[in-house]
Amino acid sequence: MLGICGFSENTKIEIDHKDGRKEDWRVSNPATQQITDFQPLCKAANDAKRQICKECKQTGLRWNAQNIKGNPYPFYEGNENYTDELGCKGCYQYDPVEYRKKCVIRISKEASEHTTDFIMRKLYPEENI
């Protein structure tokens, strides 16, 4: 989780499984795992993520990224319900960097759509567009 930091043992960088459930046998096998299956997190963030993923596994409800002030969307793919098909992908905890990239794309598309509507209303106010 990007956003947790400090000055102690908690700032030590750890290698974390992106998939908090750790049920993917491909990722568990050193011969088949890929570097993209992991992410660097400070100890504090990894500890927080571990608890969040534990709760998701128990409830089937994924963590809402809007729990962090400034995050505009709850998920970058899927919704709050964990599914075997999507797995952890789409959850902020799975990949905060990918979350941010997808948010930039989504915000840009939404801004573009609203900008077009605004310009059309300014240029052609009497037409029903």
Instruction: Label residue 1 by pLDDT band (50, 70, 90).
Output: very low
Q: Are 5 and 42 in contact (CB under 8 A)?
A: yes
Confidence of residue 113 (pLDDT cuts 50, 70, 90): confident
**Amino acid at the residue 70:** G
**CA nearest neighbour of 23 among 45, 72, 56, 46:** 56
**CB of 61 closer than 8 Å to CB of 38:** no
Whole-model pTM: value is 0.81
Residue 74 vs residue 10, higher pLDDT: 74
| Alpha carbon distance 115, 34 (integer Å) | 41
Q: How sure is the predictor about 117, in pLDDT bands with cuts at 50, 70 and 90?
A: confident
- Provide the pLDDT confidence category of residue 8 given band limits of 50, 70 and 90: low
What's the mean per-residue pLDDT of the chain?
Answer: 90
